[in-house]
Amino acid sequence: MSPDPIERAAARVSRPLGACLLALLVVFAFLVVQAPEDRSQGVIQKIFYVHVPTVLGAYLGFFVTALAGALYLWRDEERWDRLAASAAEVGVVFCTLVLLVGPIWAKGTWGRWWTWDLRLTLTLLLWFVYVAYLLLRSFTEGGPRTARFASVYGMAGLVVIPLNYFALELAGGRSMHPENLEGGSFGEGMGLPFAVGMLVALVAFAWLLALRVRIAGLRARVEEGELLAGETAAPARGGAGS
Amino acid sequence: MSAVLAILWKDLVSEWRSRDRIVAMLLFSLLVVVVFHFALPVRPGGGPPEGLPGLLWVAYVFAAILGLNRAFAVELENEALSGLALVPCDRGFVFLGKATASFLLILLAQLATALAFALAFDAPLGRVAGPLAGIAALGAAGLASVGTLFAAIAVRTRYREVMLPLLLLPLLVPLLLGAVRATAELLASGRVPSDAIQLLLVTDAVFLIVSFVGFEYVLDE
């Protein structure tokens, strides 16, 4: 078994993506420092440039998980399952960050760490679903059975998002959380750092996913005993730490 | 269709002969009532505790999980699960048979729980018995459908009793929200709110479709 196309692509793009991310992070940090301070919230509002883009990574992760799960069930090819598992892990990382960064901002501006607001609750539920997804994977013995179970659960998790949205709105979405950005709430000088922040999140997501997919592929081949000792093992170890 | 009825019949007969699922669920419901009695603050004037609809649904859901866990655990004996996978029809119909059996058991447990609540907490459930049964049935349908799908998954994992609630509870939020809201409104004003019922209906439909289709992939040959 040679590396499948997804793993080959991941191996090829991971290094350029990493370099790109490093450069973008420098630009991003500079732009956030330069961005004007919010008149009412002060400097803490700058957490916004991290908070909102992280949400993008979380949703991307869960969307890719469900999509790759569907492709696995359809085509019965293991590589789709490896992509789904990788995306779920990366998505959980981003979602955890959202749930850590959000309360810091909330404590600073609303005066409390947590409220049972529509968006907060929705994100928390999403986190629970995908942590359960990862648990399910690790509690099943592996192979096609794990892949099938996880695919079904990952897709069910995505299907429930709109239902949750509807349900929580019905429950009276007492919303402290700001509504969408379309309201033109951007002040002058906020657009560029935000756009770069979104780009950073996108590149960071792609980079982590590429690393994770590569590890999954290498691991699968090690388990099949086809990878010779020493061959391309070093980058995998480097990636596992990130 | 005959496969659905055959599996339903098999589940009901084996349940009737052993009665272990229903006894466990009923006993659990009664225990929950006792636990709630001690956990809730004493109400000097008597009368039902605050948040009764929520408590009722918590009891329903946990009793249902107890029963659902056993629904597939019994199939592990003598490799009966492989037999189910070999039923010569769409596996969705196997799902319908198993889910209908669980649905009926959950309904029975709900009835017993509601009776226990009415007696123990002086809850005025008798006045609204009809609509309440309807709401309970809508909730039970959703519980039985995704519950059956995930029970079939959980039974093949390590720590299967733990896995089912972990898989099930995060997805049950729309169902619980709709059911608790409908029950609360019913108890408060005697009317059934249409928005909550719509939510329950949509959730049931989505859960049924997802489980019917997904069940194809959760049984092993």
Cβ contact, residue pair A139, B158, below 8 Å: yes
pLDDT attached to residue A237: 44
What residues of chain A lie within 8 A of the CB of B150, using their CB?
153
Which residue of A125, A145, A151 is in closest CB contact with B173? A125
pLDDT attached to residue B6: 87
For residue A233, pLDDT over 60 is answered with no
Which of A64-78, B3-17, B173-187 is the least confident region?
B3-17
Percent of chain B with pLDDT over 90: 51
Find which of A129, A131, A163, A164 to mutate to test the B interface (most B CBs within 10 Å of its CB).
A163
pTM over 0.90: no
pLDDT attached to residue A240: 41
For residue A242, pLDDT over 50 is answered with no
Residue A182 pLDDT class (50, 70, 90 cuts): very low
Residue A73 near chain B (CB below 8 Å): yes
For residue A228, pLDDT over 80 is answered with no
Residue A42 has phi, psi (to 5 degrees) of 80, -150
The per-residue pLDDT for range A52-66, each reduced to its tens digit, is 899 999 999 999 999
Residue A132 near chain B (CB below 8 Å): yes
For residue B107, pLDDT over 50 is answered with yes
C-alpha span between A236 and A219 (Å, rounded) = 9
C-alpha span between B183 and B128 (Å, rounded) = 10
Cβ contact, residue pair A164, B178, below 8 Å: no
C-alpha span between B102 and A201 (Å, rounded) = 45
Residue A140 pLDDT class (50, 70, 90 cuts): confident
C-alpha span between A97 and A54 (Å, rounded) = 7
For residue A161, pLDDT over 70 is answered with yes
pLDDT attached to residue B91: 86
Residue B194, token pair as written in the block: 């249409």
Give the angle B171-A174-B53 at the CA atoms, nearest 5°. 55
Residue A135 pLDDT class (50, 70, 90 cuts): very high
B131 alpha-carbon distance from chain centroid: 18
For residue B110, pLDDT over 90 is answered with yes
Instruction: For residue A99, give the nearest of A87, A109, A89, A91 by alpha carbon.
Output: A91
| CB proximity under 8 Å: A 157-196 to B | 157, 159-160, 163-164, 166-168, 170-171
What does the pLDDT average to over B6-30?
88
pLDDT attached to residue A238: 43
For residue B89, pLDDT over 90 is answered with no
Q: Which helix (H) or strand (E) holds A179?
A: none
Which of A78-87, A191-200, B118-127, B175-184 is the least confident region?
B118-127
What does the pLDDT average to over A141-156?
91
What residues of chain B lie within 8 A of the CB of A149, using their CB?
153, 156-157, 217-218
What residues of chain A lie within 8 A of the CB of B173, using their CB?
125, 160, 164, 167-168
Q: Report which of residues A40 and B106 the model is more confident about.
A: B106
For residue A160, pLDDT over 50 is answered with yes
Question: Chain-wide mean pLDDT for chain A?
Answer: 85
Residue B27, token pair as written in the block: 């006993």
pLDDT attached to residue A179: 61
Q: How far, CA to CA in Å, does B125 sit from each of B25, B111, B188? A: 20, 11, 11
Q: What residues have CB less than 8 Å from A228, skipping those under 6 apart?
A: none
Which residue of B158, B177, B214 is in closest CB contact with A152? B214
Residue B51 has phi, psi (to 5 degrees) of 70, 25
Q: How far, CA to CA in Å, does A125 sit from each of A143, A164, B180? A: 28, 9, 18
Residue A196 pLDDT class (50, 70, 90 cuts): very high
Residue B80 pLDDT class (50, 70, 90 cuts): confident
ipTM entry: 0.89
pLDDT attached to residue B84: 83
For residue A188, pLDDT over 80 is answered with no
Residue B147 pLDDT class (50, 70, 90 cuts): very high
For residue B196, pLDDT over 70 is answered with yes
The per-residue pLDDT for range A72-124, each reduced to its tens digit, is 999 999 999 999 999 999 999 999 999 999 999 888 888 888 888 888 888 99
Q: Answer left, alpha or beta for residue B27, where phi above 0 means left and psi between -120 and 50 means alpha.
A: alpha
What does the pLDDT average to over B154-174?
91
